């Protein structure tokens, strides 16, 4: 029996944004920075679920909800509670991390 060992995979929002829009600094990227942040969590859920080779229904069973809830989460996770997010990622055996970055705009062009 082949032991399949997946290395730790760190996938960030930024990586997914790179795929979808462009790299940091591009105008396209800045334009959608905030709005996409609201949607990207759902895509992260979907991405990890597929990585785990699970259907929405299977993931739903892991959590104890119907597949329609998974579908809704994946389509838009912007108005979802932290607890729900954590519940999903825990079922997917993935850790989600929050990190805060303080940014001061020295250039206050008014």
The site for a copy of itself, by CB under 8 A, has a size of 43
CB nearer DNA, residue 30 or residue 55: 55
Could you say which of a copy of itself, DNA, none residue 89 binds, taking C-beta under 5 to 8 angstroms by partner kind? a copy of itself
CB nearer DNA, residue 17 or residue 74: 74
Residue 43 Cβ vs a copy of itself, minimum distance, rounded to whole Å: 11
Contacts of 86 (CB under 8 A, 6+ apart): 96
Q: Kindly report the number of other CB atoms within 10 A of residue 43's CB atom.
A: 18
**Binding status of residue 47 toward DNA by CB under 7 A:** no
Q: How far is CA 90 from CA 35, 36, 40, in A?
A: 25, 23, 18
């Amino acid at each position: 029996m082949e032991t399949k060992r997946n290395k730790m995979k760190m996938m960030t929002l930024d990586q997914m944004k790179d795929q979808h829009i462009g790299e940091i600094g591009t105008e396209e990227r800045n334009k959608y920075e905030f709005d996409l942040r609201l949607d990207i969590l759902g895509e992260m859920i979907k991405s990890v679920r597929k990585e785990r080779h699970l259907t929405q229904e299977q993931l739903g069973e892991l959590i104890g909800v119907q597949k329609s809830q998974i579908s809704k989460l994946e389509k838009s996770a912007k108005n979802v509670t932290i607890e729900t997010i954590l519940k999903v990622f825990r079922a997917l055996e993935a850790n989600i991390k929050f990190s805060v970055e303080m940014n001061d705009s020295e250039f206050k062009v008014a």
